Structure formats: structure tokens, C-alpha cells
Amino acid sequence: MTTSISEIRKDFPLLMSNDVIYLDTAATSQKPSCVLEAERTFYEKYNANPLRGLYELGEAATEKYEEARETVREF
């Protein structure tokens, strides 16, 4: 299965909205839309210090943090 560059670019908002070729990945890499959306959801709903607080929001942040770690581990 081959994937075209234009198909890959569709996942990256900056690359779709500009006629850009981004080569500075040593400084930072572009994030796909799914990552941006996950970060936005976290900051809007769970923005607290994970692993630190016993209050409801802190526990929710810890749960999301641990879910993310598990996802990376499975990858």
C-alpha cells in the first residue's frame, strides 16, 4: 500500500493551509489534527497536575495521563 504525500499532508493543518515544506523538525515537529484535538480536549476538560492531587479534577487528569502512557506502551 502506498500513500501519497498529499494524503499525509491532509492530517497536518499547517501543511494544508500553507504552501509550505517544513524541514526544521530538529526544533519542533508538526502535529497531526488528531493530536491537536486530543491536546485541546485535555486542556479544556482535564487541565490539572496529574499524579499530584486528590481532588476530582486532579484525579481525572491522572486518569487521562495514565491512559496516554498505556497507549504509547501498546504502540
Q: What's the predicted TM-score (pTM) here?
A: 0.72
Indicate the number of domains in the chain: 1
**Residues 24-55: tens digit of each pLDDT:** 888 888 899 999 999 999 999 999 999 998 99
Tell me the per-residue pLDDT of 2-22, one tens digit each, with 9 for 90 and over: 888 888 888 998 888 778 888
Band of pLDDT at residue 68, cut at 50, 70 and 90: very high
Written as one string, the DSSP assignment of the chain is: ----HHHHHTT-HHHHHS------TTT-----HHHHHHHHHHHHH--S-TTT--SHHHHHHHHHHHHHHHHHHH-
Q: Which domain holds residue 22?
A: 5-74
Q: Is the pLDDT of residue 1 over 70?
A: no
